[in-house]
Amino acid sequence: MTLSLRPIGEAEWSAWNTVDEEAFGTATPEHRQEIFRRNIEFDRSLGVFDGDLLVGTAATYSFSMTVPGGPIPVGGVTAVGVLPSHRRRGILSSLMTRQLSDLHERGEAVAALYAAEAAIYGRYGYGRAADCMVFRIPTANAAFTRHAPADPALRLRVVRPAEARSTFEKIYESVFERRPGLYARTPARWDGVLTDQESDQGGAGPLRAVVAEDDGGPRGYALFRIKASFDDHDLPTGELRLKELFGLDPAAYALLWRHVLDRDLVSHVLAQSRPSDDPLIHLLAEPRHLHALWLDDLWVRVVDVDRALTARRYSAPVDVVIEVEDTVCPWNARRWRLTADTSGARCAPCDDPADLTLPVSVLGAAYLGGRPLAALLAAGVVRESRAGALRELSTAMSWDPAPWAGLVF
């Protein structure tokens, strides 16, 4: 077996996509393949070849992703797969190592991904940085607390999603810098959100939308589908499947949720990816009726410790020496002094005694501000040489709101 690894050309797209589908066991409809192709950056899409046969894939998107303090360049990792016939031959490791080296050379200090199998990516230094919630809410038990915000100037407008695209784009552009993990969307990315062919519908009918607005303009939107059904007694048992819901302010957010929960002939609402601190948790009078399921969202990899830790902002002062363990990116494997406060940060190599020793995946888990670190000390993942150092670092790296990307890439 003679293996080679290189970026693919456009003429190799079909073979590359076939390997990706085989690795994931999927069959992507043609229109979604075209959307995927338009999102792909060919110079950042790697293929491993066994002679002339393409056997492994990995790609990186050039994202502007929000981190604590604002957006930075982030490499969005996707389509990592190996043909089942070529597993356990080092192909995955070669792809992941090459990809991280490329990110390092391009000056992108952070990578992020959605993990099909979470156990894989910890081996390459990724940490679970963001969580999401799945809600299944019975509409009969969805009353709001009396403290729910309201604005009499707000009204709702039912819209056709394809015709309201510019409205959705404008609202999203206003919110994406507020929450770590959200990323700027390209036109092709929006095509993926709004595509509405039969294979996109999953038996739940066409994409529907409602906009919250006042005389000054739009203040939020919700995208959803409704799977209509009735039981043996002809009582409605419809399911509303929420795709997206963004509000520019609390009143718009509450009104949009109220609309989703009050749709006629719907017995429950399924929201499959919501932030772990979703305000809906505090709007419902009885939050147990969320029937919430907790899952992982983004996984983050610190590619360059110094650049990554200086690129974000901090919630409290910290001065700590961190010894980073990193076998995949050896340029990180040393001691670093992080000195930061709410106005900025400095991170530089040092020879001072370490206050903390940790694998680079811990920095990735904490990077977006949503992962307290005390449990990692209790689990033995982090070693503390100076009492209180981990609490200082955890407090400084924490951030509100919680991280969440909301849209798998």
Residues 168 and 246 in one domain: yes
Of 36, 63, 114, 121, the active-site residue reads 121
Residues 73 and 98 in one domain: yes
Q: Show the tokens assigned to 407.
A: 């849209």
Q: What is the pLDDT of residue 118?
A: 87
404 inside domain:
no
Burial of 234 (0-12, 13-18, 19+ CB in 10 A): exposed
Q: Is 121 a catalytic residue?
A: yes
Sheet architecture: strand order including 131-138: 155-159, 208-214, 217-227, 238-247, 266-275, 131-138, 293-296
Question: Do 286 and 260 touch, CB atoms closer than 8 A?
Answer: no
Of 114, 176, 253, 409, the active-site residue reads 409
Q: What is the pLDDT of residue 2?
A: 87
Known binding-site residue numbers for acetyl-CoA: 80-82, 88-93
Residues 144 and 226 in one domain: yes
Domain boundary among 240, 272, 295: 295
Q: What is the pLDDT of residue 38?
A: 97
The residue length of the chain stands at 409
364 inside domain:
yes
* DSSP per position, 166-187: HHHHHHHHHHTTTSTT-BPPPH
What does pTM read for this prediction?
A: 0.96
Known binding-site residue numbers: 80-82, 88-93
Number of domains in the chain: 3
Q: By residue range, what is the domain housing residue 9?
A: 3-108
Residues 249 and 380 in one domain: no
Q: What is the pLDDT of residue 1?
A: 67
Question: Do 134 and 292 touch, CB atoms closer than 8 A?
Answer: yes
Q: Compute the distance between CA of residue 225 and CA of residue 103 in angstroms, rounded to an integer.
A: 38
Please identify every stretch of the chain with a pLDDT value under 50, giving residue numbers as ranges: none
Residues 227 and 247 in one domain: yes
Question: Do 370 and 96 touch, CB atoms closer than 8 A?
Answer: no
Residues 238 and 374 in one domain: no
Nearest to 299 by CA among 179, 127, 133: 127
Q: What is the pLDDT of residue 49?
A: 98
Total Cβ atoms within 10 A of residue 247? 21
- Tens digit of each residue's pLDDT (9 = 90 or more) over 237-264: 999 999 999 999 999 999 999 999 999 9
* DSSP per position, 10-47: GGGHHHHHHHHHHHHT----HHHHHHHHHH--GGGEEE
Q: Show the tokens assigned to 90.
A: 């080092």
Write the CATH number for 137. Answer: 3.40.630.30
Nearest to 115 by CA among 84, 78, 63, 73: 78
Residues 184 and 220 in one domain: yes
Helix or strand run (H / E) with residue 311: helix 305-311
Q: What is the Rg, in whole angstroms, of the alpha carbon atoms belonging to the chain?
A: 23
